[in-house]
Amino acid sequence: MSSVAIANIGSLVTNDETLGAGKIGERSGAGMVIEHGRVAWVGDSANLPEADSHVDVGGQAVIPGFVDSHAHLMFAGDRAAEFSARMEGKPYSAGGIKTTVAATRAATDDELTANLRRLVTEMHASGITTFETKSGYGLSVEDEVRSLRIAAAHTDETTFLGAHVVPAEFAERGQPGVDEYVSLVSGEMLTGAAAHSKWIDVFCDRGAFDVDQAREILTAGIAADLAPRIHANQLSNIGAIELAVELDCASADHCTHLSDRDIELLAGSNTVATLLPGAEFSTRSAYPDARRLIDAGATVAVATDCNPGSSYTTSMPFCIAVAVREMQMSPAEALWSATAGGAAALRRRDIGHLGLGAAADFVILNAPSHQHLAYRPGVNLIGQTWRNGKLIDPSGHSKQGHSHD
Ligand SMILES: [Zn+2]
């Protein structure tokens, strides 16, 4: 297998783990050598070793590929009309999910696959090299299992989210229907989903699933060898952070409404606080305060939450710009959270950084430094996206056909 030397990097962000969490390890005048899809050497460009091929980036910046640890890509249809109505003053509610559930159930496998591929192509163009995706718009055994089966052909990071909302055919029967749905998710649906899933997730919030239901579902998932993560405290605080820490969830996602005690719990745990600024942006809601979390010592990730209802973006640079402007993060903190933070939220050590031995997943920016991602909002600064040491061409395919894209 061939080696590639990347020369003349104006500013290289390594997120070198030895510097500690949150430190991006920026170095100027750098070079990097890739072998077998991994980072084999990092140093001064002037000392760059020989390699089979040579790429001169002309003084531009190179950063680790973004790790999008929270997305909902298994759906059909869109909800542009609902977005417009909301911007005209109608409040956001979980009810809109039903529209997407109906469209998803009606879609063919080919349609779901084509929609996923379109979004993944967009993600690559925005510099994302690893993405997680959840199910959650099928909400029947058959439709959840097929969503995860299709997703698993495109990413290792698949999440069973049967507990997204209670579907109408159960909800309309009141509490007995809800109880029956929780049993279905923890039983037959989980059994079918487990073969195609790494993670299990629950939307634990007002109007969705309460803490006891979430504990029952996540505990059943853990028993089926899935690892837990949770949607927590987006709309209100019903105690989901305590549950996240109790069950050692890899990540508690949203974290918009946090008590001081929640922040203490997160800071003292291995649970990452994943912030999703696209959701607050698209629902015109108050943003979480990343500053409080970071200052307390919590690990913070930033992800897109790409979904057709409340955050229909695949752009990590957009999320970084909003995180910096609205969530009190520095540009360096936002970049770390969108790369190494996302990797921590997926409990991955091989991605999110460019230390020796890391996956050679990186982005060549059309900018001299990473700061431009927030400093030049809305401008496409992604020059090239590389994954496992190979340039991903703009049509979305790895040049040498790596299967997990
Ligand atoms: Zn979500």
Centre of ligand 1 to C-alpha 76, Å, is 16
Neighbours of 169 (CB within 10 A): 11
- CA–CA distances in Å: residue 212 to residues 182, 216, 236, 287: 10, 6, 16, 27
Domain boundary among the residues 329, 345, 361 is at 345
Identify the domain containing residue 218 by its residue range.
66-345
Long-range contacts formed by 239-243: CB under 8 A, 24+ apart: 239/211, 240/204, 240/205, 240/211, 240/214, 241/265, 241/266, 242/211, 243/204, 243/211, 243/214, 243/215, 243/218
pLDDT of residue 155: 98
Instruction: Please tell me whether residues 268 and 364 are part of one structural domain.
Output: no
Instruction: Please tell me whether residues 115 and 234 are part of one structural domain.
Output: yes
Centre of ligand 1 to C-alpha 25, Å, is 30
pLDDT of residue 50: 94
pLDDT of residue 311: 97
Sign, CA dihedral 80-193-304-317, equals negative
- Judge whether 304 and 71 are in contact, CB under 8 Å: yes
- CA–CA distances in Å: residue 201 to residues 143, 149, 188, 331: 17, 17, 16, 29
Centre of ligand 1 to C-alpha 230, Å, is 9
Instruction: Please tell me whether residues 42 and 183 are part of one structural domain.
Output: no
pTM for the full model? 0.96
Centre of ligand 1 to C-alpha 54, Å, is 40
Instruction: Please tell me whether residues 251 and 168 are part of one structural domain.
Output: yes
Instruction: Please tell me whether residues 88 and 21 are part of one structural domain.
Output: no
pLDDT of residue 399: 40
The answer to whether residue 213 sits within a structural domain is: yes
All residue ranges of the chain with pLDDT < 50 are 398-405
pLDDT of residue 242: 98
Centre of ligand 1 to C-alpha 23, Å, is 27
CATH of the domain at 299: 3.20.20.140
pLDDT of residue 404: 39
Instruction: Please tell me whether residues 341 and 232 are part of one structural domain.
Output: yes
Beta-carbon-side half-sphere exposure of residue 38 (alpha carbons within 13 Å) = 8
Instruction: Please tell me whether residues 169 and 253 are part of one structural domain.
Output: yes
Q: How many domains does the chain have?
A: 2
Q: What is the pLDDT of residues 90-143, one digit of tens each?
A: 876 656 888 999 999 999 999 999 999 999 999 999 999 999 999 999 999 999
> Distance between CA atoms of 377 and 364, rounded to whole angstroms?
17
Instruction: Please tell me whether residues 35 and 47 are part of one structural domain.
Output: yes
Centre of ligand 1 to C-alpha 201, Å, is 9
Centre of ligand 1 to C-alpha 330, Å, is 24
The answer to whether residue 398 sits within a structural domain is: no
